[in-house]
Amino acid sequence: MPNETVLDVREVGKSFPGVKALSNVTLQVRSGEVVSIVGENGAGKSTLLKILSGDYQLDEGTITLAGKEASHANPLEARDAGFRLVRQEPEIVPHVSVMENVFIGEYPTRPGGRVDFAAMRQTVTALMDRYGFTGMVGIETSGRLLSPAQMHIVEILRALKDGVKVVAFDEPTSSLTNNETEKLFALIATLRAEGIGIIYVSHRLHEVMEISDRVVVLKDGQTTGDLAIGETSEDEIVRLMVGRELSAHGFNRTEVTRDEVVLEVENLSSRWHQNISFSIRAGEIVGFAGLVGAGRTELAKVLFGEFPRDGGTIKIGGEVKTIRSPADAIKASIGFAPENRKAEGLILVRSVLENASMAVFSSLSRLGLLRHKEMVSAVTPYIRQLEIKTPSLDHDVGKLSGGNQQKVVLARWLAAKPKLLILDEPTRAVDVGAKAEIYRLIDDLAKSGMAIMMISSEMPELLSMSDRIIVMHDGQISQPIEKHDATEEAIVNLALGTRNVA
């Protein structure tokens, strides 16, 4: 049961040039307690975590950790004080082992200064046994060979290896399967039993309701609620987050029926697929469901020319297209918003303008030189339509919130006007307010006649947004399930392979 206060944040404020990121933020975490922090993108969650972890220094207020005032002038001080952050994007050194990644920057040494690999091995093995990770990743495995879930395990082991008092999880399930999420929740239960304070940051409110004792709501850099889970609801949390009533569970689409077939895939095969055939009509949203490893993202990348195709045909508007590269796909009027927008969808150190106009560079250049005025004219209407919050078009896209970054990716394809738009996890790590805006945009695109292929791991999203749902399992697909026949049970059974997929 929760006991003494282990973390006490009082009236914390933080400003950047022209921006008040946090103002009078207050929260407490007791030992053995799970406190979730929720809020829209840009509400101040990341800024608060960076202050607690020593990446930023506060301007106002106080932080007390385990009874001692903590300024956390740098990440090392925060770590020594007992605060640990498991980041949304794991920081893994690719060319060293899991064991070395856990100890990166603080290798134990023997007399004479030599690295004590035996001590490292013993510690990591014991941690894996203690927290249920044995067999899930090899301690000698190279960092470059790790799956996203295994990278998170390394991050967690690094956080827990010694002296932890409070551990914060930042969007920990955004790249995990349901089974992996259950294992994470079991770990959190173990940490609670050991008296460790837990901060849990997530956009997935059903997870917040399941594992939290309390939830702290941030809006515009301020605390708007501190609620006991047993005395609140998802609807109340959403209202405090966005300042208005908003359905967080789905979206009522406008049904559009068109006869024109935009995409026809016939007997497609690749390293990941066997005899894939399906079609998408103009104005139709076809959802793709399946577990991690089922081949959904790989199928999207084959269609977009990023991964090779071994056989079969791809037709756009009835015409066979030879697609060997993303450039070929764009010429064929295909757009693709990838799941990992930071690594694959955006150039974070370049401007909003450059990122939003990237798909139409060829039409905006003269003699190989881009024309700035034409770039501005091409993307400004979509920046406004999507209400992208940016100080200017020249602002680095990497400095925007996650929801606004996703909108920049979508603005790029609005400018290019593709016939087919492939969306891979379009609302991953996006808050409920931005999620509703993205749903409205996708609905508008379908109404305009664009064909949408939408890959999603969120069941409410699939059920509410899709006209038909195709389930993938082990590189094969099911017959499309019509909207009126789609149920969560049917989708899960097909995804698990307990029903015939091919």
Q: What is the pLDDT along the chain (502 residues), one digit of tens a residue?
A: 457 999 999 999 998 876 788 999 999 999 999 999 998 767 889 899 999 999 999 999 999 998 888 878 888 889 889 999 998 878 899 999 999 999 988 888 888 889 899 999 999 999 999 988 888 889 999 999 988 788 889 999 999 988 899 999 998 887 677 778 888 899 999 999 999 999 999 878 889 999 999 999 998 899 999 999 999 998 888 788 866 554 444 567 777 667 899 999 999 999 999 899 999 999 999 999 987 678 899 999 999 999 999 999 999 999 999 999 999 999 999 999 888 777 787 888 888 988 888 877 766 666 666 767 788 888 888 888 878 888 888 898 888 877 788 888 888 888 888 999 999 988 876 767 777 888 888 998 899 899 999 999 888 889 889 999 999 988 899 888 998 888 888 887 788 676 666 6
Q: Are strands 451-455 and 420-424 parallel, antiparallel or unpaired?
A: parallel
Residue 318: closest CA among 261, 246, 250: 261
Q: Write the Ramachandran bin of 288: left for phi over 0, alpha for psi from -120 to 50, otherwise beta.
A: beta
E strand map for 58-99: 60-65, 68-69, 83-86
The three-state secondary structure class of 265 is strand
Helix 148-160 with 178-193: angle, nearest 10 deg: 10
Write down the residue that tokens 């470059």 correspond to: 144
pLDDT of residue 246: 47
Residue 477: closest CA among 281, 279, 255: 279
Residue 313 bridge partners (DSSP): 266
Alpha helices in 138-177 (DSSP H): 148-160
Alpha-carbon distance of 444 to 331, in angstroms, equals 23
Alpha-carbon distance of 203 to 428, in angstroms, equals 9
SS (H, E, C) 344-385: HHCCCCCEHHHHHCHHHHHHHEECCEECHHHHHHHHHHHHHH
Q: Indicate the length of the chain as a whole number.
A: 502
